[in-house]
């Protein structure tokens, strides 16, 4: 019995020693540089910055902190992200990796990636689920939009590099509650509050297709459809949007002395809504009321 206990203790000690040895001598810089180079080779416009990479348990890799930029514009910053491969998939043709992380400024993300080598190029598919992210902390929106938005964001993304030319991502976004502040007043209006905004989008390397964005609130109801054709820098992306706005009765009375109040005061506007066409660029949008 004593011999068995002694062997067990030696075994545990050996495992701990090997684990500590591998952790301390893990080639963090080599793995980090390899990941960054691979991303840059696959997507030249995408830049990833990682300070440190460490092994984690269950078997995987932990990267921290990590920032992601597109065409020089920061998209996302993470405190840390863990990648956990499905070990049984490593023996097959299709590799699967789960991941989860915490976002700087609040919120978390999780999902998985599947990688299948098919001629003539590798097929990559997967999902991304973001929860409880304060939208005002998204650096990308601050840099490309003339509108300040505050609210809590939840989103689900399903992407596939073999769907359409260059790959496609189906995106569902839910914001609740939402406050929109116009840095330059829109027809005399400085701020809008919505109870909820739901979006159904399709993203490709060339454009953002807005199947619909539905916004509801005590002031207005609105629906947006259309597209945004990407340009570099992103502020020069082209807009082709149609927005139908229907006011709530109390909002019309509240805004009776403003331009938007006058626009929405007619019985037709209150029953059917007003259509606003939005063109121009993200940096300089143009509005036409019909």
pLDDT bracket for residue 6 (50, 70, 90): low
d(CA 172, CA 211): 10
d(CA 236, CA 127): 29
pLDDT bracket for residue 39 (50, 70, 90): confident
Burial of 73 per CB tally in 10 Å (0-12, 13-18, 19+): middle
More confident residue, 138 or 195: 195
pLDDT at residue number 119 = 57
d(CA 159, CA 146): 28
Residue 290 has pLDDT above 90, yes or no: no
pLDDT at residue number 57 = 79
Alpha-carbon dihedral 59, 32, 54, 91, rounded to 10 degrees: 10
Summarize pLDDT for 125-183 with one digit per residue, the tens. Answer: 999 999 999 998 887 777 767 788 899 999 999 999 888 887 899 999 999 999 998 88
- Measure CA 113 to chain center: 16
Summarize pLDDT for 46-92 with one digit per residue, the tens. Answer: 788 999 988 887 888 899 999 988 777 788 899 999 999 888 777 77
Cα–Cα nearest to 217, from 263, 154, 151: 151
């Amino acid at each position: 019995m004593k011999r068995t206990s002694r062997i067990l203790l030696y075994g545990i000690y050996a495992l701990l020693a090997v684990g500590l040895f591998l952790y301390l001598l893990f080639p963090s810089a080599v793995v980090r540089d390899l990941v960054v180079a691979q991303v840059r080779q696959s997507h030249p416009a995408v830049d990833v910055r990682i300070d440190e990479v460490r092994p984690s348990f269950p078997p995987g890799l932990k990267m921290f902190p990590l920032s992601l930029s597109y065409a020089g514009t920061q998209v996302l910053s993470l405190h840390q992200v863990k990648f956990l491969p499905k070990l049984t998939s490593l023996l097959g043709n299709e590799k699967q990796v789960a991941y989860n992380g915490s976002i700087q400024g609040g919120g978390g993300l999780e999902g998985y990636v599947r990688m299948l080598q098919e001629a003539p190029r590798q097929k990559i598919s997967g999902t991304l689920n973001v929860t409880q992210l304060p939208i005002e902390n998204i650096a990308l929106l601050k840099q490309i939009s003339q509108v300040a938005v505050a609210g809590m964001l939840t989103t689900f993304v399903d992407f596939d590099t073999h769907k359409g030319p260059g790959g496609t991502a189906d995106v569902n976004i839910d914001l609740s509650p939402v406050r929109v502040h116009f840095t330059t007043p829109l027809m005399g209006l400085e701020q809008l509050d919505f109870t909820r905004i739901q979006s159904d989008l399709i993203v490709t390397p060339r454009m953002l297709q807005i199947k619909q964005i539905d916004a509801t609130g005590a002031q207005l109801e609105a629906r947006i459809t259309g597209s945004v054709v990407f340009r570099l820098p992103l502020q020069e992306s082209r807009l082709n949007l149609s927005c139908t706005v229907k006011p709530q009765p109390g909002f019309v009375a509240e805004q009776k002395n403003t331009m938007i109040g006058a626009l929405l005061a007619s019985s037709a506007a209150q029953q059917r809504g007003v259509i606003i066409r939005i063109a121009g660029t993200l940096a300089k949008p143009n509005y036409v009321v019909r």
